[in-house]
Structure 1
Amino acid sequence: MASHSMATAAILTVMFLCVFSEVIPSSEISEDVEMIDTGDPMTSRIAPPPTQEKSGKQTYADTNSPNYVMTADRLRQIRQELLYPFYDQGGGTDNIGDYQKTIKDHSPQVTKSLNFLLPYFGFGYNYTWVSLHGFLAFSDGPTLSPEYPLEFPITDYPKHSDPSFIGPFYSKCKIGELNGDEVDKRGSGVYFRVERDLPSRTDRLGVELRERLLWDIREGIVGAEWFEPRHAVIVTWKNVTFGGGTIHARKTTNTFQLVLGTDETRTYALYNYKHLGWMTHTEAGGSSEDGSGGTPAFIGFNAGNGTRAFEYKPYSQSPKIFDILSSGHVNGMPGRHIFRVDERIMPGQCIPELFQMTAHSQMLTFAPESGNMLGGTIVNITGPCFTPTKSITCRFNTLRVQGSVINSNRATCVMPPLYATGYIDLFVEVDGSNDLLWKGKFLVETPFQAPELVSFPDNDQLQQDPQKLTIKWDTKNLTMNNNVPVSITLWGYKEDTINPELVYIDTLADSIPNEGRYVIDPKMFQIKKTAWAVDLEIGIITVNITNPSDALGVPYAPVLWSRPIPLAWYMYRQWQEKYGMLWSEQMCERWIVRDRLLKNFASDLPVCPCTLEQALADKGRFHPDPNCDKDGKVNLCYLHQNARHCVHSSMPSQSGGGQQCCYDIFGYLMMTQDNKWGGRPGRAHDLGHIPWNEASKVPSLSHYLHDVAPFFPCCMWNHDHSWWCLTYRFERRPSQNCVGYQPPAVAGVFGDPHIVTFDGMPYTFNGKGEYVLVKSNTDRHRLDIQGRFEQLPNNNYGEVRATTLTTVAARDNQSATVEIRVRPRDAQWRYKLDVIVDHHRVFFDRYPQKIQYFHGVTVYTPSTIQNQSHVIAMFESGAGVEVVENKGHLTARVYLPMTFLNQTRGLFGNWSGIIEDDFVLPDGSSGPIGNTNSLEMMHNSFAMHWNIDEKDASEKGSSLFYHENGKTSSNYNDRLFRPVYYTDPAQIVPLNVTLKANSINEFCGDSLPCKYDYSVTLNKEFAHWSKYYESELINIKENNLKKIISCGALMTPIHGRKSTFKYTPGTEVAFECDPDFVLVGDRKRVCQANGEWSTPAKGGSDKQTESEWFNWVPTKSTRCIEEGEYQSVNSAATAGIVLGVVVPILLIAFFAYTCYRRRKQEHVVNAADPRLRNTTAVEMTKSMIPEKSNGEKGSPSGRHEKSV
């Protein structure tokens, strides 16, 4: 959390739970309280008597004070002692307290049950071995080797044992003798004590131990501000001497202590060194007289099982070992050293000098390890030793900020605003040293990825003119003191130039109590005149301490940021004054004009999958949208109502854009052509784009400004069918309609190991070592994906001659290298898989960090996965690697887009669509073709050729794996390993095994991998998961990634609706209109097998001209028009019928009648004059025309003549 800050450490010392009811006056406590027997459990030699409840919880009888409480004075008093309490009397029938009488020189070890989970170095234990030799072990104790100095972990594990242990002073020890003049008369030897269930304890010892340990840890190491111990282990080695010493040397002794505090998730270890009189036993070259010289004791931690170790330099196995008494200074005490030890070892004290710095991959301990890109996170740092006179500078990537010294072990720096995302280098410089030795990896979170530390529970910030604005924050993220005044401020973000700006707008509240909630009246701010800010469209609200110098003692304080929000609630009146009452329309039009001037970004975005199943299975290009995730912590989908799930493109496109695809409850793609809630492409990806400090490339802020904020004035604050919303939906941010979507190809490996290639060819290969799964080396793609196969452990019948996948490593072009490996069974109590990116372990259990971004690759775990058992890595090329773990059994699947067709080699085959050419050798020649059931042929003639090591071979590449502790590929590669080549269970299962082939066939059914694995391993669970993973891969190939034909978007008529939003062949879509509207055009359309909608029966078309798109002329085939308009159209149609049909009929009738009259007249004339009976009408007409003076026939006009 961003709350891990110096503020907490400064204030925690004065915050306590209760009031003390029984206080021993300080005058009665001597300077050396360890010798006093006062009944005080912190100083007494007599252990309180334990009692045991039926529940198994540990309780203590305390008749004097059954509900013990204490004051701050008492806590300060008991924290002044270096050693925690240990007893040599009482505590049981033996009356020896914590003393371990069975530990002797000849029997130096005893086993103890913890009855709770103790997380240590990635593993989890509920037992321990206590050793006289200065360590606490979690397996058989380490063997004291004659070869010094000691080195851990043991590199040739498992040939030689590599035990897990905590070693405050690991050396060959013996029980020493007292001088006789000691004040502390407790006997020499080893003391062991466990205190359980501390939070529920009310007895005096339980309360005091809990509070003492709690505050010693919280104030002793960064990042422990919220730690509350549930259980404690106290191991004390008192007056132990060195092995091999003379009889006079038995009084040369050491006294030291190990204290463990755990809440069963985190574990902290305190090393307390009271006295060191010797440093080396004689077998390590030490003097037999005083234990000097030689190779001193090992101080540190070993995880065991050949995994990891931490040697505490510069003290361990060094002459500087005596300096450990005067260093540390944890809680201000010389000789106290503290470490966090649950997952990795993190020292809480400074290192006084540089010692083999190159051997340490991360020297700094700091918390928190991540922060909001906008800055304001206070980072507590431990590394070099600090003094008040030294200047401290923190360098976040390239930005330097001045720090403040808290004490010798701790300094703080405030994170500056950083236009970046992902992991960056954090350096600490002392007195301007400008060295790069003190460093670590700091995660910069985008404003949408970071925890929402300032929120708006009622969503008032999204309204135009809300009556109130409720602001909420967690008070503890600022300070534990709720009376400390805080301020609330408003900031605006703009990109008017190439340089983006975050500008201060106003103070919303000043010096208010830190109560975690505040309600403001927006109208009080709407009347303000801020003309310079009226063009700002989005803003961010912050909460911070008003006077940090007074409250915290440092000149800066943590800043809590909201996520970006619209500014209508603040600018409502000012926007009305500038744009008029229809200000939202004007602002939308202003954005449309501005967006049209920018370059096109949609052409290089990935095409949306057609169905939710495809989107979930496309693991190389799309990941869940955190704001609308069906499996997410909060599935709001506020901007995509009725959506079941949305996905987002994993990486920015070449132009910096991002694709978003949303799916309805039926799993179909939602499109803005149907309503405003469909998924929308973005001009700016949430990750931003390099360089992150330029306009339209800033993570989260550019995306919100260009793609999210315009949605409010255009659609949310306007009618869905308004010109502005339609323009937003159809022109500026239209949904991608999935036409042309090409599902990726998938290949996988599982079980013992069984491989299915991209083209679907299954085969079995039991290689042992590191191999190429996928290799692509072209001008466009340079992809390397490798797998490590290790031999299965022995079963009850001996060696298992088979291997299984344990690790996958991948890199794409110049991306970071991602390695995903299964953890040992005993280390799976919390995390199932380790994720290592560029040699740096990363974790995904915290919700805001479920998705993390690295150079060229996005890595995430699904929202429902809390144990890191399912990890997906997505590369810029569109390639995806998915690793899934169940009960320690691994499967890996690789997803490749069409751009990799005919460009892959390796165990996953040549992806060409033809299975016959899958097995290509590294030199390009063809491997075996034919029967893949010949396991020996596949093993020798094909698969073994893809074995790799550290040598860089151009056709295979070199090993990508992170080899720790001096290991190389040769520690894993075994080219002589011979697996079982038979495939028939009857030939595989040993005769002395009760398992029969019939039982195998009955359990596995038709699954050949299951039968083979059951037969070889004799492990039913192993066979079950092979069958399960095989079924999953088949389902992904045949169903989830099946190509779907889409007819694309069919626009819903404005003021109308469709019967379905489906768009697959065979879909029949019926149209209806809203009340008071009438449907004009086709009432039904059908999606045809060729991916086209049926041709409109009326001859219309869905194609629209550029002018129609810009002016939103709806589809010509189907429209919904108002009834009044429909009636007008009908009247016009009727008039057209009258003019076009009736009038011509009347004209024809008139002409017919005229002809009839003329004929009738001719008949009458002919009957009267026989001379004219044979004269035509024309001739008769001509004879009737008078002659002109020139003898020509006359004409009244040319018109008449032309008419004739």
Structure 2
Amino acid sequence: MKSLEAERLTRFAQEIVTEGYVAKDGHAHCISPLLYQTGMISMEISSDSGQTFPRSSVWFSDHHSKVAASEKSTLVNESQWQYYGTPGTGGNLTVTWNNQTLRASHVNIELWAYRETGEPYSATWTAQWKYLYTLKKNFPNSGTFTFLPAASALYSAWELGALRITSSGSLEGQSNVAAIWSPEHALAWHLEEAFREDPAAWATAKCHAWDAAEESLPSFLAEIPDCPCTLAQARADTGRFHTDYGCDVEKGSVCTYHPGAVHCVRGIQASPSYAAGQQCCYDATGVQVLTGDSHGGSTPDRGHDWGSPPYKKPPRIPGFSHWIYDVLSFYYCCLWSDNCSFYFKHRPSSGCKQYHPPRAASAFGDPHFITFDGAIFTFNGLGEYTVLESDLTSLRVQGRTRQASLNGIQFKVTGFSAVAVQENNSDVVEMRIPDHSSQLEVLLNHKALNFSEQTWMDPKGLFLYAVPGMSATVMFSSGVGVEVKGSGQLLSMTLLLPERFLNHTQGLFGVMNDNPQDDFTLRNGTVLPSSSPPEQLLAFGADWAVSNTTSLFTYDTPYLLHNFFYGPKHNASFVPVFSPPEDPTDPLGKEAALLCQSDPFCRFDVLSTRDLRVGNSTKRSHQNYKRLKEDLQPVVSCDWLAVPAKGTKNSTNYLAGSVIRFGCQPDYILTGAAERTCQSNGKWSGAQTVCLPGTGSAVLALIRPPNSSVTPTAEYLCSH
């Protein structure tokens, strides 16, 4: 793009035109427009003032909370901005920004705001992102601005917004010009004087108004899935749940809205009718935090934080719909007033009684397969193969193998070098390690993606998360998860399938039906015995070779064209080593024994490739699979138990085997069970616990059933 004219226009999504420029280094810059959506957006470039747009590409519209911090501004002491005017806040506010990213000597600092109007879930429901006024004109582009906020009754209906720093040469409020935006935030500093005078009273009135509005809206709770029962399950179920960036144990667990939690996840997919989202939070012991026990409990969302296709209209606007319906309301009811019961009435935690963990299968090393039903085999075919396909969602997972080599010497074993996936009419994602490289490359519809600054994308029909150069996870709308990791010149893959795929799979990973005996099923339905020798299993794998008409792969180098596109999809002339030779005098054998211990896959790969690094990678992949299987074990949960009125309970763990002990306040008598255990059938032992008024042991002695040492139940007391 260095040779383009200095004056240019860029057209996004075939309708929104913005200006652009060429910097001193010769690179062209396009101004991203206002969009109410995320994902891949078409982009066309004109160098003749919009008469023609001869150059085209695609541009990724990101969720605003994930934009690199260096490109945004920062609200200094951000909580002061969020709660400005509540007790303990006041004084000046300061915003900072990276002034090197804005080509201007002086700037205007503006306030923009967002709201949604119209009848919810109707054609009149619309989003508004609007310029309100300018805080400061023609201010030096120093990278910092401090001001003393003033309330404005004229704009008090706008309660969510952000600051925009733009060149003073732009018209005030002009859309789609070069600008730096602050993080979005509650405009507490901007609200009318009634908020400043008595924040709790003002917020209580707002909470009650929100409560009344929620009562008139349809409930979305039945549409969202149950949460995983444990933190281990939540982090392992990568096809359906992903880390909530606001509460991430890997980043120090700064859980502003969920005190007591150490990690939260969000359901990746929005609900079908209402575009609602699920959120699940967990404490340091790994059990779910529920709103019945804590203000930090898991809360579902009327507006999914990440938005939902087709976007553009409430409640599907990424981020902002969630702010309007789920965050500001939390401020009104919980943070600015003591009315959390109203909030949790409409946003109660989902339990996990209906949660079913996905099934896992994995392939790694030379390569070794562990099917969904637990069948284990090694397949060293050379070619391109159907790893898994399903008629349920037209899911296709394909793998390409290449010969293992070391220092130019090729060995008679293979490993995965590329994996390509698609479901229904989604975009195609391919993950591969190119020749003469050890870095994982990700392609979308046969074009390489640049993940140097971006790790999360939501193309058509899927979500894509990548750790640049190392791993990528594809999450389909069905809940299927495909994780691919690179190690040296080989890939490992793990597939997660929800239970509804039972009896709907075929390919190298077999038929998922809890029966490993039929996992070696050919295309024509013939089932090979589970005890088949390696030579027969090579024929089984060869039967699942793809064709050019069904291939999802990219053939963009002479090597790939010659060896895979024009060559056989299964190279029948390649005969692999089925069992590497064991030589007692081979020093590598002793090293393999020390490294691999009892792992047969590791030993196979060391001896067949003569490379301890390959064996070590295989060992790690195998260990990761075993941990994943352990984390995804089904867990039994009992229903939530309330604290009895005038009583106490010692635990909030409702998983099988947990014991909850109850007590009563002084001058109250405990009836029912003082201790209840969550049983393996999902039911609590013992009778309901109640604390009744009394005057101590004398009263208890009077009402205790004759000849009994058991505390009377509530039913006994009421009947006597």
Fold similarity call, TM over 0.5: yes
Partner of 1:159: none
Partner of 1:418: 35
CA contact (8 A) 2:365 2:490 kept: yes
Structure 1 residues not aligned, in runs of 5+? 1-346, 350-381, 952-957, 1101-1116, 1120-1125, 1139-1204
CA contact (8 A) 2:257 2:296 kept: yes
Partner of 2:313: 694
Counterpart among 614, 617, 628 of residue 1025 in structure 1? 617
CA contact (8 A) 2:240 2:480 kept: yes
CA contact (8 A) 1:691 1:697 kept: yes
The answer to whether residue 107 in structure 2 is matched with residue 472 in structure 1 is no
Partner of 2:480: 879
Partner of 2:450: 843
Residue 538 (structure 1) shift: 2.1
Partner of 2:298: 679
The residue type equivalent to 1:1093 in the other structure is: W
Q: CA RMSD in A?
A: 3.2
The residue type equivalent to 1:471 in the other structure is: T
Q: Give SS of 2:217's match.
A: coil
Measured in 2, the distance between the counterparts of 1:804 and 1:411 equals: 41
Measured in 1, the distance between the counterparts of 2:199 and 2:331 equals: 17
Q: Any idea what the Cα deviations from partners look like across 1:337-386, whole Å, max 9, x if unmatched?
A: xxxxxxxxxx521xxxxxxxxxxxxxxxxxxxxxxxxxxxxxxxx3xx56
Partner of 2:572: 976
Residue 630 (structure 1) shift: 1.7
Counterpart among 367, 372, 387 of residue 773 in structure 1? 387
- Determine what percentage of the aligned residue pairs are the same residue: 27
Measured in 2, the distance between the counterparts of 1:555 and 1:734 equals: 39
The residue type equivalent to 2:32 in the other structure is: M
The answer to whether residue 361 in structure 2 is matched with residue 750 in structure 1 is no
CA contact (8 A) 2:226 2:354 kept: yes
Measured in 1, the distance between the counterparts of 2:588 and 2:33 equals: 68
The residue type equivalent to 2:193 in the other structure is: R
Counterpart among 414, 426, 432 of residue 815 in structure 1? 426
The answer to whether residue 117 in structure 2 is matched with residue 495 in structure 1 is yes
The residue type equivalent to 1:836 in the other structure is: L
CA contact (8 A) 2:306 2:319 kept: yes
Q: Give runs of aligned pairs for residues 35-46 of structure 1, distance below 5 A.
A: none
Partner of 2:716: none
When residues 878 and 1041 of structure 1 are mapped into structure 2, their CA distance, relative to the original with a 3 A threshold, is: same
Q: Give runs of aligned pairs for residues 423-822 of structure 1, distance below 5 A.
A: 423-431=40-48, 437-452=54-69, 453-458=72-77, 459-463=79-83, 465=85, 466-468=89-91, 470-479=93-102, 484-496=106-118, 497-522=124-149, 525-526=150-151, 528-530=152-154, 533-548=155-170, 557-575=177-195, 582-632=201-251, 635-655=253-273, 656-719=275-338, 724-729=339-344, 731-778=345-392, 781-793=393-405, 799-822=410-433
Measured in 2, the distance between the counterparts of 1:404 and 1:904 equals: 49
When residues 690 and 1030 of structure 1 are mapped into structure 2, their CA distance, relative to the original with a 3 A threshold, is: closer
Measured in 2, the distance between the counterparts of 1:1044 and 1:927 equals: 33
Which structure exhibits the higher relative contact order, with contacts defined as CA atoms closer than 8 Å and separated by 6 or more residues?
A: 2
Q: Give runs of aligned pairs for residues 931-970 of structure 1, distance below 5 A.
A: 931-932=531-532, 934-940=533-539, 942-951=540-549, 958-965=550-557, 967=561, 968-970=564-566
Partner of 2:10: 394
Q: Give runs of aligned pairs for residues 359-398 of structure 1, distance below 5 A.
A: 382=4, 385=5, 392-398=8-14
Q: Give runs of aligned pairs for residues 1086-1101 of structure 1, distance below 5 A.
A: 1086-1096=677-687, 1100=688
The residue type equivalent to 1:1018 in the other structure is: R
Q: Any idea what the Cα deviations from partners look like across 1:766-820, whole Å, max 9, x if unmatched?
A: 0101100110013xx1100011111112568x54111011111111111111111
The residue type equivalent to 1:643 in the other structure is: A
CA contact (8 A) 2:115 2:160 kept: yes
The residue type equivalent to 2:496 in the other structure is: Y
Residue 639 (structure 1) shift: 0.9
CA contact (8 A) 1:753 1:764 kept: yes
Measured in 1, the distance between the counterparts of 2:414 and 2:237 equals: 29
Task: Answer with 1 or 2: which has the greater Rg.
Answer: 1
The answer to whether residue 627 in structure 2 is matched with residue 1035 in structure 1 is yes
TM-score, normalised via structure 2 length = 0.87
Q: Give SS of 1:1026's match.
A: helix
The answer to whether residue 622 in structure 2 is matched with residue 1007 in structure 1 is no
Structure 2 residues not aligned, in runs of 5+? 119-123, 704-720
Residue 495 (structure 1) shift: 3.0
Residue 890 (structure 1) shift: 2.2
Measured in 2, the distance between the counterparts of 1:782 and 1:822 equals: 26
When residues 1077 and 535 of structure 1 are mapped into structure 2, their CA distance, relative to the original with a 3 A threshold, is: farther
When residues 972 and 1035 of structure 1 are mapped into structure 2, their CA distance, relative to the original with a 3 A threshold, is: farther
Measured in 2, the distance between the counterparts of 1:971 and 1:623 equals: 40
Q: Give SS of 1:491's match.
A: strand
Residue 443 (structure 1) shift: 1.4
CA contact (8 A) 1:789 1:807 kept: yes
CA contact (8 A) 1:853 1:859 kept: yes
CA contact (8 A) 1:881 1:895 kept: yes
Using the TM superposition, name which of 709-718 and 1014-1023 deviates more: 1014-1023
Measured in 2, the distance between the counterparts of 1:448 and 1:1065 equals: 38
Partner of 1:833: 440
Q: Any idea what the Cα deviations from partners look like across 1:15-73, whole Å, max 9, x if unmatched?
A: xxxxxxxxxxxxxxxxxxxxxxxxxxxxxxxxxxxxxxxxxxxxxxxxxxxxxxxxxxx
Partner of 2:714: none
Partner of 1:894: 495
The residue type equivalent to 1:851 in the other structure is: W
Residue 753 (structure 1) shift: 0.9
Q: Give SS of 2:211's match.
A: helix
Measured in 2, the distance between the counterparts of 1:921 and 1:694 equals: 47
CA contact (8 A) 1:985 1:1012 kept: no
Residue 437 (structure 1) shift: 3.7
Partner of 1:928: 528
CA contact (8 A) 2:379 2:537 kept: yes
CA contact (8 A) 2:412 2:577 kept: no
Partner of 2:711: none
When residues 485 and 1011 of structure 1 are mapped into structure 2, their CA distance, relative to the original with a 3 A threshold, is: closer
CA contact (8 A) 2:108 2:134 kept: no
Q: Any idea what the Cα deviations from partners look like across 1:1088-1146, whole Å, max 9, x if unmatched?
A: 121122242xxx4xxxxxxxxxxxxxxxx446xxxxxx87x769x99xx99xxxxxxxx
CA contact (8 A) 1:610 1:741 kept: yes
Measured in 2, the distance between the counterparts of 1:919 and 1:875 equals: 26
Q: Any idea what the Cα deviations from partners look like across 1:260-298, whole Å, max 9, x if unmatched?
A: xxxxxxxxxxxxxxxxxxxxxxxxxxxxxxxxxxxxxxx
The residue type equivalent to 1:838 in the other structure is: N
Q: Give SS of 2:260's match.
A: coil
Aligned length: 681
The residue type equivalent to 1:498 in the other structure is: W
Q: Any idea what the Cα deviations from partners look like across 1:76-100, whole Å, max 9, x if unmatched?
A: xxxxxxxxxxxxxxxxxxxxxxxxx
Measured in 1, the distance between the counterparts of 2:22 and 2:596 equals: 64
Residue 478 (structure 1) shift: 4.8
Partner of 2:121: none
Measured in 1, the distance between the counterparts of 2:330 and 2:279 equals: 15
Measured in 2, the distance between the counterparts of 1:769 and 1:685 equals: 42
The residue type equivalent to 1:936 in the other structure is: E
TM-score, normalised via structure 1 length = 0.53
The answer to whether residue 519 in structure 2 is matched with residue 918 in structure 1 is yes
Measured in 1, the distance between the counterparts of 2:176 and 2:529 equals: 70
When residues 680 and 902 of structure 1 are mapped into structure 2, their CA distance, relative to the original with a 3 A threshold, is: same
Residue 574 (structure 1) shift: 3.9
When residues 996 and 454 of structure 1 are mapped into structure 2, their CA distance, relative to the original with a 3 A threshold, is: closer
Residue 840 (structure 1) shift: 2.4
